[in-house]
Amino acid sequence: MSAPEPLPAHLLADPTFVAACANRQIGAVFQAAKRAGISVTQIARRTGLSTSRVTEITSGGRVVSSMDVIERIADGLHIPGRMLGLADRPWEAAAIPTGYQPAAVPETWEVLDMLSRSTASSAALSHLEAAVAGVAYRYPSTPPVESVPTLHRQLTGVHEMLARPQSLAARRRGVRILAVVSGLLGLANHDLGDRSKSDAHFHLGTVAAGEGEADDLTAWLLTMQSIVEYTAGRRAPAAALLQQAAALAETASPRRRAWVAANLARGLAARGDREAALVALDQASHLLDTADEPIGGLDFLTAGRLDGLAGETYAHLGEHDAAADLLETAMVRRAEADVKGRSVLTIDLAECRLGQGDLDAACALAHSAFDLAGVSIVQPLVLRARQLQQTLTPWSGTRPVRELTARVRELGYQLARA
């Protein structure tokens, strides 16, 4: 299949367009394409839809839910599959010859920064903020080995920017960007199994967030760090970080406050504090209901993601039926491209099946989680699988558990080789 005519690079990086794609709001996708200069006629020609149908979709008169149509739109408009929760499209692989190493093309923010060497311009900082927010939003559906090079490049750019004399406003924005990039690198290195690098980046992020004087950003960073502590089994430090985050999140958007509260609920439940966990979960649900800011960047909590965190919370409280229902709903709502999140949710569901007394279903689900992850093995999945394996110790002599134990061991080898 030949590669279709590409969309403008600035459109693919636009947070509104990224969010519309992630939520499969095709009307908003078409609206953004029109603003970028692509007419209804051109959209129709490239997607194979009639102009009247494109007009209906663009105006909101028709909702696109058919996967066949979404795939046609991805192929016709040259939208990378992962942006729409799809597998990589055939033309994505065909467009890059085997062994080809593209030259480093500067991002928009790099070019603008070069043109304003005395102090970083507002435009350069805005483009850099958008680029970093785009990496943050796409992180769940991007293997960490792919995210890290981009984040390293952004980290280097911010470092060079802050090394030059800057206005106070530019410096403050720069250190806030540094905090976000450091937090993402902390999570990425945790996913890759490198604790020392993860800890170092989180420390750098904490220092930068403090200098940036942005409590809402510090709350985000502490919550990111708590996720690492939680998945590593260090539940008390995770809860402590989240309590600090909740205290600092008062100025944050409702969606971010809901994310902090939902993670706090899970952490409190893991410590056995049922009453406080349910209070935090109710708070998260209420805050998400009131959120009207767009989904994207650092504010990515959706109802589906909240279902997943709520399911884990109820699982920790021993309410496996309620937990299983929530986790199954979360799986349906999670984008297909988010193999990391879907595989971990499947392990959580396996734990629930075990709690319901179905050993065979638990083992089968664990195997399906590993199959789903494929080659995208990350530290949280390995750690979660090992925790499930420990829970299965009373049945260690049975064939399903022996087979699962061997598979978990191989997962660890795969992560070490990555």
pLDDT in tens, 46-73: 888 888 899 999 988 888 888 888 888 9
Do 342 and 379 form a contact (C-beta atoms < 8 A)?
no
Task: Taking residues 213-230, report their average pLDDT.
Answer: 91
Helix (H/G/I), strand (E/B), else coil: 297? coil
Question: What's the CA gap between 290 and 363, in Å, rounded?
Answer: 39
Three-state secondary-structure class, residue 399: helix
Give dist(CA 82, CA 24) in Å, integer: 11
Report pLDDT digits (tens) over 8-34: 777 877 777 887 887 788 998 999 888
Nearest to 313 by CA among 346, 282, 359, 353: 282
Considering the chain, what is the average pLDDT of its residues? 86
Bridge partner list, 232: none
Instruction: Give CA–CA dist 289/18, Å, rounded.
Output: 22
**In which element (H, E) is residue 146 found?**
helix 144-163
For the chain, give every domain's residue range: 9-94, 338-418
Residue type, 245: A
- pLDDT confidence of residue 334: 86
Q: Assign residue 55 a region (left: φ > 0; alpha: ψ between -120 and 50; beta: otherwise).
A: alpha
pLDDT tens column, 222-279: 999 999 999 888 888 998 999 999 999 988 999 999 999 999 999 999 989 999 999 9
Cβ atoms of residues 54 and 43 within 8 Å: yes
pLDDT of residue 315: 95
Angstrom CA distances, 70 to 29, 92, 137, 193, 328, stand at 11, 16, 20, 35, 24
- Confidence at residue 14, expressed as pLDDT on a 0 to 100 scale: 75
Instruction: Evaluate if residue 329 carries a pLDDT over 90.
Output: yes
H/E run at residue 123 = helix 122-138
Handedness of CA 321, 325, 330, 332 (dihedral sign): positive
Closest to 129 in 3D by CA, of 64, 165, 174? 174
| Residue-level pLDDT at 116 | 47
Contact 109, 157 (CB under 8 A): yes
Distance CA 312, CA 325 (A): 11
Query: 164-185: per-residue pLDDT in tens?
Result: 888 888 888 988 999 999 999 9
311-326 pLDDT, tens per residue? 999 999 999 999 999 9
